[in-house]
Structure 1
């Protein structure tokens, strides 16, 4: 049986935790893609158990949501619910599962979903599109360019192995789901397996470190969510959208305390950092200022569009 590496598994509530030997299955795969919801109103029964179990075994996790929005506002609401449910698990990739024609213009609706996910803080967002629905829904090479990756299914004989049958909707895809009848140690039934076609495994599995994302005490930030503690996975709606970082707890899920008690945030709910300014004094150099502020002089030069970083003058205001 031909089983391409890396081994990429996707599961949902249909794979019952009681039937999964998580440690054994973790040894057989390279990463897992877990369904979180079937539209806004239906949350997968076991997604939290799946995510927690695989993360505890150090298996990289992606998440996906079956898209069912019936209009633009509904698509954005689905994105918000998807993000709220999954963000605490720090997935390395977010996928839209596009198989159902739930509204007239699925390309436009899914773009609203994708854009809202990005606004909320999802770093990488991809599209899983049914091969036979790709053209039917109106997707083109241009319309999928906004996504960070494209994942297409085509099974061929669907005997659990890959025998060279590839998607026909487009030649430009990154993952190929080649069977729904795969078999792996750790589960008694059939499984969906995919293979990597373009990019690297790291592109889909490396998670941005929330505790080393460049924020520090004193930074003023704009946020779109907040947590009650540094370890909480339940995202709340903030009373205010701006605050100042007053404490940093390294390696915490939510490492930044705002305003000595407003709440805790991480790099995914921080929308942007408000730039501060420094006034140049006589005799100062950009490298000396950067060292004093604990930032990179190259980044300061870029932020301030300094063609010659050696030419700064007293009284000049520099953003950092």
Structure 2
């Protein structure tokens, strides 16, 4: 089966999320621009990705000038909206931004715990090459070069050597989308699909039969106060069916909900397969 790596914004409509889930290991979507614009589609896309287990990246289109303030606005806007499948932040550098301004924005993102990316245009490589070369190992370089821009990648129009992700068309097609969209390819020059689809502090799942125990993500900060809120925050129901499955994998305490919440806070709550999604099968709490 072919895999697709699209980047989208409010200009693109997801026609079938099941197709996206099946064909796209991760999504890249616009979050902000400047210090006031928030993409209208961002929150809905984040909710769907969290619900369906699709890894996602959020980017800021950097207007020219005060790039640091724009990076801060990106994080301030998104930090309370992201969840388990959030990968990291991206700086979209294509508005003739100064190298010094971009460096300040990069230095700010370096202080965070997530992975990150910098997006540049092929023709502007010389302007930002020093920043690209000095990027940390947890930062990918994403470069745009279209060539014929006919929806297909052509080796006659490669990206620069060292680019990790190559945006090769704005005229692509992808299952689940009704219109033409940007498509990318992983170059294999340093970072593989796992790097782009597995969050910084999460280990890839082992193959079946190799101690493949899955855990719920830990609570990064105290935003929930009980197991029901914890599960709802991750898109799952907390009714009798789900709680029975989770308890069977974790504990048989008389105070089962309190015990499960303690495990959740420690990152030790085993995640059984076949749990009901709250949005699809509403259960009584």
Q: State whether TM-score is above 0.5.
A: yes
Inter-partner Cα distance in structure 1 for 2:129 and 2:46: 33
What is the deviation of 1:30?
A: 2.2
- 1:129 matches 2:124: no
Higher RCO (CA 8 Å, separation ≥ 6 residues): 2
| Rounded Cα–Cα distance in structure 1 between residues aligned with 2:34 and 2:81 | 14
Distance 1:71 1:180 in 2: 28
Task: Determine which structure has more spread, i.e. the larger CA radius of gyration.
Answer: 1
Partner of residue 201, structure 1: 193
Shift of 1:8: 0.8
TM-score of the pair, normalised by structure 2: 0.65
Q: Which runs of 5+ in 1 are unaligned?
A: 216-222, 234-246, 256-320
- Residue 92 of structure 1 is matched in structure 2 by 87
Q: Which residue of 2 aligns with 1:112?
A: 104
Distance in 2 separating the partners of 1:129 and 1:86: 26
3-state SS of paired residue (1:128): strand
TM-score, normalised relative to structure 1:
0.59
Tell me the distance in 1 between the aligned counterparts of 2:2 and 2:154.
14
Task: Identify which of 135, 149, 158 aligns with 1:146.
Answer: 135
RMSD: 3.4
* Change in 2 beyond 3 A, CA 1:101/1:186: same
Task: Give the Cα–Cα distance (whole angstroms) in 1 for the partners of residues 16 and 216 of structure 2.
Answer: 34
Deviation (angstroms), 1:76: 4.9
What's the counterpart of residue 32 of structure 2?
37
Secondary structure of the residue aligned to 1:202 is helix
1:167-219 C-alpha deviation (Å, 9 max, x unpaired)? 45x3110011111111122222101110011321111111224989999xxxx
Contact 1:144 1:150 in 2 (8 A): no
Contact kept, 8 Å, 1:5 with 1:196, in 2: the verdict is no
Hey, what's the Cα distance between the residues in 1 that align with 2:264 and 2:64?
36
5 Å-filtered alignment, 1:249-288, equals 249-251=262-264
Kept in 2: contact 1:36–1:86 (CA 8 A): no
**SS, match of residue 128 in structure 2:** coil
Structure 1: distance between partners of 2:222 and 2:67: 26
Q: Relative to structure 1, is the Cα distance of residues 157 and 226 closer, same or farther in structure 2, using a 3 angstrom cutoff?
A: same
Q: How far apart are the structure 1 equivalents of 2:76 and 2:50?
A: 21
| Whole-angstrom CA distance in 2 between matches of 1:69 and 1:79 | 15
In the superposition, relative to structure 1, how do residues 156 and 85 fare at CA in structure 2: closer, same or farther (>3 Å)?
A: farther
Aligned partners of 1:191 and 1:34: how far apart in 2?
12
Structure 1 residues 100-249: aligned runs within 5 Å: 100-102=95-97, 105=98, 107-122=99-114, 124-135=115-126, 138-141=127-130, 143-147=132-136, 148-167=139-158, 170-198=160-188, 199-207=191-199, 208-209=201-202, 227=223, 231=230, 249=262
